[in-house]
């Protein structure tokens, strides 16, 4: 069984970005926008990436859309 504590960092980062950077977006918008961007850029479904890679790609997604993530990174 995988360590469930690995999820805390991913959820913390996503929640922080959502609340501080794009609070007007619905959760579905955030996920859907990331999914579309990820598929267009990497030609793969984000379903298959591990959490550490997910964080890296989510940061890249934020940079692409000028979401000021690096300035307010919580972790």
pLDDT at 1: 81
Q: How far is CA 37 from CA 3, 6, 27, 57, in A?
A: 28, 24, 16, 10
Could you tell me the two tokens for 67?
């979401």
| Count of helix runs (H) and strand runs (E) in the chain | 3, 0
Separation of alpha carbons 34 and 56, rounded Å: 12
* Confidence band, pLDDT 50/70/90 cuts, at residue 71: low
* pLDDT of 75 strictly over 70: no
State how far Cα 43 lies from the chain centre. 17
Separation of alpha carbons 52 and 37, rounded Å: 18
pTM attached to this predicted model: 0.79
pLDDT in tens, 14-52: 888 888 888 999 999 999 999 999 999 999 988 889 998
């Amino acid at each position: 069984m995988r360590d469930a504590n690995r999820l805390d960092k991913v959820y913390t980062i996503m929640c922080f970005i959502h609340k501080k950077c794009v609070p007007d977006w619905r959760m579905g918008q955030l996920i859907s926008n990331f999914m579309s961007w990820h598929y267009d850029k990497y030609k793969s479904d984000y379903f298959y990436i591990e959490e550490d890679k997910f964080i890296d790609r989510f940061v890249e997604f934020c940079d692409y859309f000028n979401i000021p993530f690096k300035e307010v990174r919580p972790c």
